[in-house]
Chains A and B, each alone.
Chain A
Amino acid sequence: EADIYQTPRYLVIGTGKKITLECSQTMGHDKMYWYQQDPGMELHLIHYSYGVNSTEKGDLSSESTVSRIRTEHFPLTLESARPSHTSQYLCASRGAEETQYFGPGTRLLVL
Chain B
Amino acid sequence: KNQVEQSPQSLIILEGKNCTLQCNYTVSPFSNLRWYKQDTGRGPVSLTIMTFSENTKSNGRYTATLDADTKQSSLHITASQLSDSASYICVVSDRGSTLGRLYFGRGTQLTVWP
Contacts and interface: CB of A to CB of B under 8 A. Distances in A.
Given A40-B109, A42-B107, A99-B49, A94 B43 contact: no
Nearest to B101: A45
A74 interface: no
Given A48-B99, A98-B100, A103 B107 contact: no
B102 interface: yes
Interface string B89-114: 10001000001101011110100000
- The interface residues of chain B, by DSSP majority, are classed as strand
B32 interface: yes
B34 A99 contact: yes
Interface residues of A, number: 23
Contacts of B41: 104-105, 107
B43 A98 contact: no
A104 B42 contact: yes
Interface in B4-58: 4, 31-32, 34, 36, 41-46, 49
A40 B102 contact: no
Interface of A is mostly: strand
Given A40-B106, A40-B109, A42-B106, A102 B45 contact: yes
Contacts, number: 49
Given A90-B43, A102-B43, A102-B44, A41 B100 contact: no
A43 interface: yes
Given A42-B105, A48-B99, A98 B93 contact: yes
A86 interface: no
A103 B43 contact: yes
Given A42-B104, A98-B100, 13 more contacts: A31-B99, A40-B109, A42-B106, A42-B107, A43-B104, A45-B102, A92-B43, A98-B31, A99-B34, A100-B102, A101-B46, A103-B43, A104-B41
